[in-house]
Each structure stands twice: as C-alpha cells, then as structure tokens.
C-alpha cells in the first residue's frame, strides 16, 4: 500500500462525502477505494470512517488523522512545488556573440539591475573578443531569453 496515495484518497473521501465520488474522480471502482481505506485502517489499527449504507462519518481517530493528513499533504505539495521550481529554471553558461554596441543598447538594458551596474564599465560577463560576450545565467534570470520572447 502506498501510504501517501491512501492518505490522499482518505482525504478526498472525507471532502467528497462518499466512496463512489472518489472512485469516479479517480476512474476506478468503488470497491478499490473502499479496500484502500480499509488497508489504511488496518495499517493504523483503528477505524477512521464509520460506514453505513447511506452515509459515512469520521470517528474520533478519523478526525485526528484527517487533520494530520491535511498538514502532511500540504507539506508534500509545498516541498515538491519548491523543488520543482528550482529544477525548471535554466542553469549554466549562455554564450552570446553580438557586436559590443548592440549588447550595450539592447541587451544590457534587459539585465536585472545588479548585472547592469557591473555592465556599466564592461559588457555582461566577460568580453572574449570585440564581438563575443559571455553571460552567466547564474547571475540572474535574463528576461529576453525566455521561451515566451522567442
């Protein structure tokens, strides 16, 4: 049993108010949802949901577990979101070969302020020849090098 998946399913059952709603949402049968919740209850050694033919109700342990599960799932979502954002940002060295005048007129003005201050005395990064400038993407995001601007 995947505990995180079981926890998510448990939370959705409580939020939706029925096993069949969660089954439809996930595209699985209602018995599969019921078995997952039963396996979670077996793992914890206590009943979380009191079931009748017409309704479900949280037990005291179920209320406690529900609150904890909400916090845990929120923490997992926040962590994966933070980590995911860090991995999607471009990293590495960007080499741009342009005439120095073009760089000063069109590229330096698009750089973030700290990079512009460094660029006042020279082109961003290192000037390797009169026409080649090297920018490091680690300095800051470069707005004109986004997929939207291409």
Q: Which domains does the chain have, with CATH numbers?
A: 3-88 (1.10.10.10), 93-149 (no CATH)
Q: Comparing C-alpha atoms, which of 90, 83, 82, 88 is closest to residue 144?
A: 90
Q: Comparing C-alpha atoms, which of 62, 44, 57 is closest to residue 1?
A: 44
Q: Could you give the CA distance from residue 118 to residue 93 in angstroms, rounded to a whole number?
A: 17
Q: Which DSSP letter does residue 21 get?
A: H
Query: pLDDT digits over 43-88, tens only?
Result: 999 999 999 888 899 999 999 999 999 999 999 998 888 777 666 5
pTM of the model: 0.56
How many CA atoms does the CB half-sphere of 8 hold within 13 Å?
Answer: 13
End-to-end alpha-carbon separation of the chain, Å?
46
């Amino acid at each position: 049993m995947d505990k995180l998946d079981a926890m998510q399913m448990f939370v959705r059952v409580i939020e939706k108010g029925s096993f069949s709603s969660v089954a439809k949402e996930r595209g699985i049968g209602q018995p599969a949802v019921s078995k997952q919740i039963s396996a979670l209850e077996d793992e914890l050694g206590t009943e979380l949901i009191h079931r009748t033919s017409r309704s479900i109700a949280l037990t005291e342990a179920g209320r406690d577990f529900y609150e904890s599960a909400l916090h845990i799932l929120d923490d997992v979502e926040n962590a994966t979101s933070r980590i995911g954002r860090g991995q999607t940002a471009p990293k590495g060295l960007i080499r741009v070969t342009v005439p120095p005048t073009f760089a000063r007129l069109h590229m330096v003005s698009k750089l973030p302020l700290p990079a512009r201050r460094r660029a006042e005395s020279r082109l961003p990064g290192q000037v390797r020849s009169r026409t080649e400038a090297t920018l490091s993407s680690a300095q800051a995001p470069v707005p004109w090098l986004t997929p939207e601007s291409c």
